[in-house]
Structure 1
Amino acid sequence: MADALRSQLEAGPRDSLLDVILNRVQKAGKAVLVTRIVYVARMLQRHNTMDAVKGQLSRIVEKNSQDGEITGFLLVYPLCYIHVIEGKTPQLMAVLRDVQSQGSDLRLSETRIISSCEDVPARYFSAWYAAYMPSVSNVEAMDPLDAFGAVKSASDINGFLRKAGPELTSPNDSDTRRKLNTVESSFEDVPAQELVLSLTPTEDAPTLAEYLDIFDSPVNVDLESEQVWPMPPPLKY
């Protein structure tokens, strides 16, 4: 045992998990790790167009993006919206912090992070797009989904986004603009407003504040040994 420990010490420090991951990323030729976050939001008032929501969120995205580094898609319904953003993790966290701090201006009632993935193989979207999805439904709110229903609905939304992304080739492309103006007839499996409204109150997905508290706050761990007095003596090898 002592010989094995001595051999490890003489060999120098071993690679950490982060070292291994970064080494793999470098070998894969990746210069930037791209993160994708999808969240849904319920609004306090009905919107007949996307203009107000798009205007506020586009300013937040532009503020935290350089040269179009943040890509994604905003799909606005009368009472809620789906927003997927792709880019460097610090940029996306900054977007979410601004959305949280400007929640009252955005007239948000509830938000839920339904998908978060770091180091995605590729982006879904080539730029940041926005579209409006009208709904004739009079439903103002939905009961929260159980865990199974929440996972299935979140998967349905991610599946829709994965298929919609390649269809949007460029903001200046006429066919892309046509599809954005006719979302329901241009894309398959467009989520209904009721599906989004059923995700916003579910407790099986973190709120925006909870997500930021977990993933964008300093780690503060209290070790059990630090709560004991007198402190235990250091281990001797």
Structure 2
Amino acid sequence: MSSGRQARKASKRTIPLEPLIMPQVPRSNYLHFQEEKQRLQLKKFLLHRMFLVAKILAHTEKKDIAEYYEQTFQSILKRHLGEAVTGLLLIYPTSILHILESSSGTLFRILLDYLDHEKNENEFLIQGMKIIVMSHNIPARLFLQWQVSVIKVPVMYLDDVTQSQSLEEVVTEFLTQIHKLGLHLFKTVKVGTKGPGDNLHQVAPDLLLPEQIIKYLCNSEEFLDPAAFIQMYSNPVHVTLDSEVVWPAPTRF
């Protein structure tokens, strides 16, 4: 009897107890949230929107400007992964206004291509380019395709707002008018069509920016040109901690 009891006690002791397993709570971070958001929107890369202004040479064929950008877009997308380019190119008599929407790598390569032409050509058809604003991680595209519109008929303006307004006010009006124009094209232009073409001054004359504002922004020193912009974003960020600063400076004996 005693031997049976001891055997039963031993058998009870040899049965291992299952360890208590804490329930695993799924954790995520902001990067995973953004990646999932992009996946749901069928986008491989984050989207950015860039606003450019520039001057053009006198007697420049407007079709040459459009063909240059079309060839640049095709060349970049063939060699590099990235989002397709959408936006709007307004060609004024002596200047251009360009809005581009794409991934950051594609936008940077567009600027690099411009710098390459500017460096290697004496008189490139686009000159004095300035970057007004670059909006990062935009939720959706404002333009469903890339379209070009030539402003043929000069628009008459009662006064020159650049003479009475500050730079901040001019930029605010600049962005407000572009946003209104983009919403108008978003609602009226169908995907696959050429858009308003060269009749934009007749379709939406109140939404067009005066060329004097474009010239004013081109001449403003407050905005970066492509070379300074790329250099700023290419340079590594060096942060010096207070613990790394030693005073007086160490000297060798």
TM-score (norm 2): 0.68
The counterpart of 1:34, out of the listed 33, 47, 66, is 47
Q: 1:58 aligns to what?
A: 70
Matched, 1:90 2:105: yes
Shift of 1:143: 7.5
Q: Between Structure 1 and Structure 2, whose CA radius of gyration is higher?
A: 2
Q: 1:147 aligns to what?
A: 167
Q: 2:22 aligns to what?
A: none
Distance 1:182 1:227, change over 3 A: farther
Matched, 1:130 2:140: no
Q: Percent identity?
A: 15
Describe the superposition over 1:64-107 as per-residue Cα deviations: whole angstroms up to 9, x where unpaired: 13597111111111111011111111011101111122134533
**Which range moved further: 36-45 or 102-111?**
102-111
**Which range moved further: 218-227 or 116-125?**
218-227
Cα separation, 2, equivalents of 1:125 and 1:230: 58
User: What stretches of structure 2 of length at least 5 have no aligned partner?
Assistant: 1-26, 156-160
Aligned-residue CA RMSD (Å): 3.2
Shift of 1:181: 2.5
Distance 1:214 1:168, change over 3 A: farther
Q: 1:22 aligns to what?
A: 31
Tell me the SS of whatever aligns to 1:102: helix
User: What stretches of structure 1 of length at least 5 have no aligned partner?
Assistant: 1-14, 232-237
The counterpart of 2:190, out of the listed 160, 169, 180, is 169
Cα separation, 2, equivalents of 1:165 and 1:63: 27
Q: What are the within-5 Å matches in structure 2 for residues 1-237 of structure 1? A: 20-28=29-37, 29-30=40-41, 31=43, 32-47=45-60, 49-65=61-77, 69-103=84-118, 104=121, 106-136=124-154, 146-166=166-186, 167-171=188-192, 173=193, 176-177=194-195, 179-187=196-204, 188-215=206-233, 217-219=234-236, 221=238, 223=240, 225=244, 230=250
Q: 1:235 aligns to what?
A: none
Which letter maps to 2:131?
A: I
Distance 1:101 1:227, change over 3 A: farther
Number of equivalenced pairs = 205
TM-score (norm 1): 0.73
Q: 2:10 aligns to what?
A: none
Cα separation, 1, equivalents of 2:132 and 2:69: 18
Q: 2:20 aligns to what?
A: none
Cα separation, 1, equivalents of 2:172 and 2:99: 17
Describe the superposition over 1:90-139 as per-residue Cα deviations: whole angstroms up to 9, x where unpaired: 011101111122134533331111121111111112221111112548xx
Which letter maps to 1:163?
A: L
